[in-house]
Structure 1
Amino acid sequence: MARTLIVIGWALVALGLVWPILPRLGLGRLPGDFLFSREGFAFYFPLTTSIVISLVISLLIWWFRK
């Protein structure tokens, strides 16, 4: 259990360090990311970005469990 918490902590630190770089890599502006905007309101739904991040996380978990 302690090892799991340490790994999760390191993953969150890594994500925090990479977060400012993600827009430069194109994440958040992929085809399939929806932006609905009206006067005084904007709703952003990053569908494709969420799928890509989910796949990467799933592959990393699969790789570390192997």
Structure 2
Amino acid sequence: MSFIPKLFITIGIILIIVGVLWQIGGKFISLGKLPGDILIKRENATFYFPIMTSIIISIVLSLVFLVIGRFLR
């Protein structure tokens, strides 16, 4: 098998694992409602900016891509 199909299979498996963990872990870790996320409610508008959630997702994705990059060399 060539490189590209293996890469797509690996990415697919990782996405399935992340999806399952997100569904199971969503009950315990309320991603999107962390301290540091900005929520402003007014009478007729709501503004939500998940800054801490974005930082955590960025760190996790950076680590995942670092590990994947080490294995693909």
Task: State the TM bucket, normalised to the shorter chain.
Answer: 0.7 to 0.9
Helix, strand or coil at the partner of 2:28: helix
Give ranges in structure 2 of 5+ residues lacking alignment.
none
Alignment RMSD: 1.9
TM-score normalised by length of structure 2: 0.68
Identity of aligned residues (%): 41
Q: In terms of Rg, which structure is larger?
A: 2
Structure with the higher fraction of residues in strand conformation:
1
> Which contiguous aligned blocks of 4+ residues in structure 1 show a shift greater than 4 angstroms?
none
Change (3 A) 1:3 1:31: same
TM-score normalised by length of structure 1: 0.72
Count, aligned residues: 66
